[in-house]
Amino acid sequence: MKAAILLLPGDGIGPEVVAAAASILRVVASRYRHQFDLREAPIGGAALRLGLAPLPDETLTAAQNADAVLLGAVGDPEFDRGDSSRRPESALLAIRRELKLYANLRPARVWPGLEASGPLKPDILAGTDMLVVRELTGGLYYGEPRGIAEDGTSAYNTMRYYRHEIERIGRRAFDAARVRKKRVTSVDKANVLETSRLWREVVTALASEFADVALDHMYVDSCAMKVALAPSSFDVILTENMFGDILSDEAGAVVGSLGLLPSASLGDGPGLFEPVHGSAPDIAGKDVANPIGAIGSAAMLLRYALRLETEARAVEQAIEKALLGGARTADLADPAHPRIGTREMAMAIESALLALPPTPVN
């Protein structure tokens, strides 16, 4: 396969973790005989430093023309005091809006050997591997009308969902479940909200197109409890914007370090793949950042943008092997293992990838 992948390293630890993820993509390309054209463009503080906008037009055009975009992180204390349109972070909202990304996918899995590094008891966490599929462009965060009453005594927001918005995010969740454990839990508050009742009706109707995937429904409050009490009971969680915002952070927190978490944002054009963490200026340039969130995002890019499931699984299996072999960056360090840097972690994952059989991995 030939694919154009745009790399947007950005700020802080962004360039270090994107370099690590790019090295893994190069290994995948040579091992599985693909041609990945990896190009870089500036974004965030890195673009501002060149005298450009946080999201330069050339960067946006390159993203629109790519098959997929891999972003590091944006945010630089140097620009914290500028006006808000010149803040590095404004590039993130702009690129998500311009690429019309309506689906946010956040996996939360516990890697073997790291069961004790999360806040839950290891036996509760063991086997956790869920994917939160969050609607990203509708609901309470965007609904109109919204505002604060003139006399300041009240404020209001509007939660509105259209059938087509629910249907398209629902399809993403069912599709994702097909290459996982084939279970979707649709999360709503249908006992209270009309939008949730429509949500439930549309998702239930959609399920008939995906007979191989099991569907159940759960209220958001029970779901929040169950994510903390029995995280391993979930496969795919499908939910609207605000519930997903909260549940995806909760799911990420139960599995441990921020440096481990990948994400994908999908629309009908090129998708955007990025680790969940920010630019971490406190550790930037020191070769200590954990690159697994970025490398996991590259695996998601292979799976969801390029439909290369075998290659995506191979990368995830290589991460697992490296961790089982004792590779630990500072954020994961425990007394039993020496700390290694960003580059060394990437090399450990690369070696594990090269040691896998080149045939399909299950």
Q: Catalytic residue numbers?
A: 141, 189, 221, 245, 249
231 binds ligand NAD (CB under 6 A): no
Q: Which stretch binds ligand NAD (CB under 6 A): 51-59, 70-78, 187-195, 217-225?
A: 70-78
Cα 224 from Cα 128, distance rounded (Å): 15
Min dist CB 25 to ligand NAD, Å, is 18
Residue whose tokens read 């590094």? 117
Cα 101 from Cα 115, distance rounded (Å): 33
Min dist CB 24 to ligand NAD, Å, is 15
**CB closer to ligand NAD out of 68 and 213:** 68
331 binds ligand NAD (CB under 6 A): yes
**CB closer to ligand NAD out of 110 and 283:** 283
194 binds ligand NAD (CB under 6 A): no
φ, ψ (nearest 5 deg) of residue 146: -145, 155
> Binder to ligand NAD among 259, 262, 271, 296 (CB under 6 A)?
259
> Binder to ligand NAD among 43, 74, 255, 314 (CB under 6 A)?
74
Min dist CB 116 to ligand NAD, Å, is 18
16 binds ligand NAD (CB under 6 A): no
**CB closer to ligand NAD out of 338 and 358:** 338
Cα 208 from Cα 190, distance rounded (Å): 20
75 binds ligand NAD (CB under 6 A): yes
Q: Which stretch binds ligand NAD (CB under 6 A): 72-80, 164-172, 183-191, 350-358?
A: 72-80
- What are the distances in angstroms from CA 159 to CA 10, 40, 220, 242? 33, 38, 16, 10
Cα 260 from Cα 351, distance rounded (Å): 19
Min dist CB 327 to ligand NAD, Å, is 13
73 binds ligand NAD (CB under 6 A): yes
**CB closer to ligand NAD out of 171 and 339:** 339
89 binds ligand NAD (CB under 6 A): yes
- ∠ CA 1-131-64, rounded to 5°: 45
**CB closer to ligand NAD out of 294 and 306:** 294
Q: Residue 296 has which token pair?
A: 């996991």
258 binds ligand NAD (CB under 6 A): yes
What number of other Cβ atoms are within 10 A of residue 310's Cβ?
14
Min dist CB 283 to ligand NAD, Å, is 4
**CB closer to ligand NAD out of 75 and 271:** 75
Radius of gyration of the chain (CA): 20
Q: Residue count at the site for ligand NAD (CB under 6 A)?
A: 21
- Asked if residue 300 lies in contact with residue 105, where contact means CB atoms within 8 angstroms, the answer is yes
> According to DSSP H, which parts of the chain are helical?
14-31, 45-49, 57-65, 90-98, 122-125, 163-178, 194-207, 220-229, 241-254, 292-300, 309-324, 342-355
Min dist CB 62 to ligand NAD, Å, is 18
DSSP string, 144-192: SS-EE-TTSS-EE------HHHHHHHHHHHHHHHHTTTSEEEEEE-TTT
Min dist CB 92 to ligand NAD, Å, is 6
Residue whose tokens read 């349109």? 85
- ∠ CA 322-235-180, rounded to 5°: 65
**CB closer to ligand NAD out of 206 and 255:** 255
| DSSP-assigned beta bridge partners for residue 176 | none
293 binds ligand NAD (CB under 6 A): yes
Which residues between 260 and 289 bind ligand NAD (CB under 6 A)? 274, 277-283, 289
Handedness of CA 118, 120, 126, 132 (dihedral sign): negative
The footprint of ligand NAD (CB under 6 A) covers 13, 17, 73-75, 89, 92, 258-259, 274, 277-283, 289-290, 293, 331
